[in-house]
Structure 1
Amino acid sequence: MIETAVDGGVTRVTLSRPARRNAFTEAGLRALRSAVTGAETPVVSLSGAGEAFSAGADLTVVKELDREEARAFAQLGQSVATAIAESEAVVVAGIDGPARGGGVELALACDVRVATPEATFAETGVSLGLFGAWGGTARLPRIVGGGEAMDLALSGRTVDAEEALRMGLVSRVVDHPATVAAEIAENNPAALSAVKRRMRDDADRAVQHAREAEAFADLVERNAADLSW
Structure 2
Amino acid sequence: MGFIEYKQKGYIGIITISRPKVLNALNISVLNEMNRVLEKVDIKTTRCLIITGAGEKAFVAGADIGEMVNLTRSEGEAFGKRGNDLLRKIEMFSIPVIAAINGFALGGGCELALSCDMRICSDNAVFGQPEVGLGIMPGFGGTQRLSRLIGLGRAKELIYSAKKINAEEAYRIGLVNAVFPLEKLMLEAEKMATGIARNAPIAVRYCKEAINLGIEMNIDQAITMEETLFGKCFETLDQKEGMNAFINLSRNKNFINK
In which range does the TM-score fall when normalised by the shorter chain? over 0.9
Instruction: Give, in whole Å, the separation in 1 of the partners of 2:192 and 2:102.
Output: 13
Instruction: Give, in whole Å, the separation in 2 of the partners of 1:146 and 1:211.
Output: 27
CA deviation profile, 1:178-200 (whole Å, cap 9, x unmatched): 33223222222111101100110
How far does residue 221 in structure 1 lie from its aligned partner after superposition?
Answer: 3.6
Instruction: Give, in whole Å, the separation in 1 of the partners of 2:234 and 2:170.
Output: 37
Instruction: Give, in whole Å, the separation in 2 of the partners of 1:219 and 1:55.
Output: 40
Determine helix, strand or coil for the equivalent of 2:24: coil
How far does residue 35 in structure 1 lie from its aligned partner after superposition?
Answer: 1.8
Matches within 5 A, 1:1-229: 1-40=3-42, 41-50=46-55, 51-174=57-180, 175-176=184-185, 177-201=189-213, 202-222=216-236, 223-227=239-243, 228=246
Aligned residues: 229
CA deviation profile, 1:145-193 (whole Å, cap 9, x unmatched): 0011001101111111111111111111133233322322222211110
Gaps of 5+ in 2: 251-258
Determine helix, strand or coil for the equivalent of 1:99: strand
Percentage of pairs with the same residue: 34
Instruction: Give, in whole Å, the separation in 2 of the partners of 1:64 and 1:135.
Output: 22
What RMSD, in angstroms, separates the aligned Cα atoms of the two structures? 1.3
Contact 2:129–2:142 (8 Å) recurs in 1: no
Determine helix, strand or coil for the equivalent of 1:53: strand
Determine helix, strand or coil for the equivalent of 2:220: helix
Determine helix, strand or coil for the equivalent of 1:168: coil
How far does residue 224 in structure 1 lie from its aligned partner after superposition?
Answer: 2.5
**Aligned amino acid, residue 76 of structure 2:** A
Contact 1:198–1:212 (8 Å) recurs in 2: yes
CA deviation profile, 1:8-27 (whole Å, cap 9, x unmatched): 11110000010010001111
Higher mean alpha-carbon deviation, 64-73 vs 191-200, is at 64-73
Between Structure 1 and Structure 2, whose CA radius of gyration is higher?
Answer: 2
TM-score, L = length of structure 2: 0.85
